[in-house]
Structure formats: structure tokens, C-alpha cells
């Protein structure tokens, strides 16, 4: 059965890493809103130009543009056999449209990766990324494993800014979690474990919905 997985989780929860890992293991695309936004902007599509104008003005890309970009991405042949969504939906309105787009009987598995706030603060304030390609470094690494670039700390990874980001995330995302929570396809995974343990729990959570051995 095709697996349609939506990953939820606060900044620093590791959902992006786990989404990528699961998608590679299943042989399905990981669809990240950040990636497809950049792709649309680089390709110069109508939605890409609209996105660039909004971002250049320092504003967040709205539901209409995001929904249009995701709708186009999900229509591609490689998504027919399943996919992992990372960063979409972010609002209840986006979730409702996703339900309408995928109203064909194949379940949408929603996994919320939960991590205590203090652990998230520690992770985010100590993490480093590549200043050239944006790769998230693992602890102990001194240079980017992808391009050899210099590792830097993001400006928004100071403790005060991180706590505010987490507060805003909790406030804005709670309605979305509540939207999915009562479904039989909703699962919670403990993200305060080793990456391998989280990956195993994620696979088991999805398997419990779609009835597969993984």
C-alpha cells in the first residue's frame, strides 16, 4: 500500500531528518515545503515568482501560494506511490485542502514527533549548519559532510530566540495537532531518543496504521 506520511514536530525535534530517512527507506519522495519553494523560485514559475515577491518583502508565504505549490508537487508521477510531507500542512486550512486533494481512500498517516522543550533548546542552541549549503551538522563534525563548507550558528539559534520560536510554534500548531489528534491514523513518537530509536518507532507507528511489516 502507498504510504502517505505527514510529519509534525517543533523546531529541533528532528522531524526533517527522520522524514528524509523514512522516505529513503521506503523509496518515496520527501516533499519539504522549503525545498519546493526554492525549486519554484529557481524555476521562475508563476507561483515561484509570487513566493519570491512575498519573501523578498519579509513576509510569510500564505496558504494560497503554499497550497498551489504542494498541489502541483503531489500531482507528479513520483508521488503516486506515496510520499513524506515535511512542513506541510502548517495550518488547519492547509490540512483541510490536503484532505480534499487526497480523498481517495488511501490513509494519511500523521506522526507528531514530541521532544521536551529543554531538550529542544539545547539542541537548537548548540547545532551548527553549513554556511554554504545549509546542511545540518551532526555533533562532533567540524566541516560540512556535503560540500566541505564552514559550519556556523544560525542567527535565530540563540536561547532567547529559540524559546520564542518554540512558543510561537506551540501556539500556532496546537489547532493543527487537535485537527488530526482524534483520527485513527494519528500517532505520537518520542523524539527524545537516539536517531535510530526514533526511526524504529516511526516505522512501527506507520506500520500500525497501514498494516505492514517494516
Domain spans of the chain, in order of start? 3-116+172-210
Q: Check if 128 is active-site.
A: no
165 to each of 15, 151, 158, how far by Cα in Å? 16, 22, 10
Catalytic residue chosen out of the listed positions 38, 71, 154, 163: 154
The whole-number average pLDDT for the span 92-99 is 94
* Ranges 3-12, 63-72, 156-165: which has the least confidence: 156-165
Residue 63 has pLDDT above 70, yes or no: yes
pTM metric for this prediction? 0.82
Residue 214 has pLDDT above 50, yes or no: no
Catalytic residue chosen out of the listed positions 4, 15, 73, 123: 15
Query: What CATH homologous superfamily does 3-116+172-210 map to?
Result: P-loop containing nucleotide triphosphate hydrolases (3.40.50.300)
The whole-number average pLDDT for the span 110-122 is 95
Across the beta sheet with 3-9, what order do the strands follow?
Answer: 30-32, 82-86, 3-9, 108-114, 186-190
Reported as a pLDDT band with limits 50, 70 and 90, residue 156 is low
Catalytic residue chosen out of the listed positions 4, 90, 123, 187: 90
Residue 58 has pLDDT above 70, yes or no: no
Catalytic residue chosen out of the listed positions 38, 71, 127, 163: 127
Q: Check if 127 is active-site.
A: yes
Q: What is the pLDDT of residue 213?
A: 42
Q: Check if 73 is active-site.
A: no
Q: Check if 155 is active-site.
A: no
Catalytic residue chosen out of the listed positions 30, 73, 123, 165: 165
Q: Check if 123 is active-site.
A: no
Average pLDDT of the residues of the chain = 88
Amino acid at each position: 500500500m502507498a504510504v502517505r506520511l505527514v510529519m509534525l514536530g517543533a523546531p529541533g525535534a528532528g522531524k526533517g531528518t527522520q522524514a528524509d530517512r523514512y522516505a529513503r527507506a521506503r523509496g518515496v519522495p520527501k516533499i519539504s515545503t522549503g525545498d519546493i519553494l526554492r525549486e519554484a523560485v529557481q524555476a521562475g514559475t508563476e507561483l515561484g515568482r509570487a513566493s519570491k515577491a512575498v519573501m523578498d518583502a519579509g513576509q510569510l508565504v500564505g496558504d494560497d501560494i503554499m497550497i498551489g505549490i504542494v498541489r502541483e508537487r503531489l500531482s507528479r508521477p513520483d508521488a503516486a506511490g506515496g510520499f513524506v510531507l515535511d512542513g506541510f500542512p502548517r495550518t488547519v486550512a492547509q490540512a483541510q485542502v490536503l484532505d480534499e486533494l487526497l480523498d481517495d481512500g488511501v490513509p494519511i498517516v500523521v506522526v507528531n514527533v514530541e521532544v521536551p522543550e529543554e531538550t529542544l533548546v539545547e539542541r537548537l542552541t548548540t547545532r551548527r549548519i553549513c554556511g554554504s549549503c545549509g546542511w545540518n551538522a551532526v555533533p562532533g563534525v567540524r566541516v560540512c559532510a556535503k560540500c566541505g563548507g564552514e559550519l556556523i550558528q544560525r542567527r535565530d539559534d540563540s536561547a532567547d530566540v529559540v524559546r520564542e520560536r518554540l512558543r510561537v510554534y506551540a501556539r500556532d500548531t496546537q489547532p493543527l495537532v487537535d485537527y488530526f489528534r482524534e483520527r485513527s491514523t494519528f500517532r505520537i513518537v518520542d523524539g527524545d531518543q537516539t536517531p535510530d530509536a526514533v526511526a524504529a518507532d516511526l516505522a512501527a507507528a506507520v506500520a500500525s496504521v497501514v498494516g505492514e511489516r517494516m
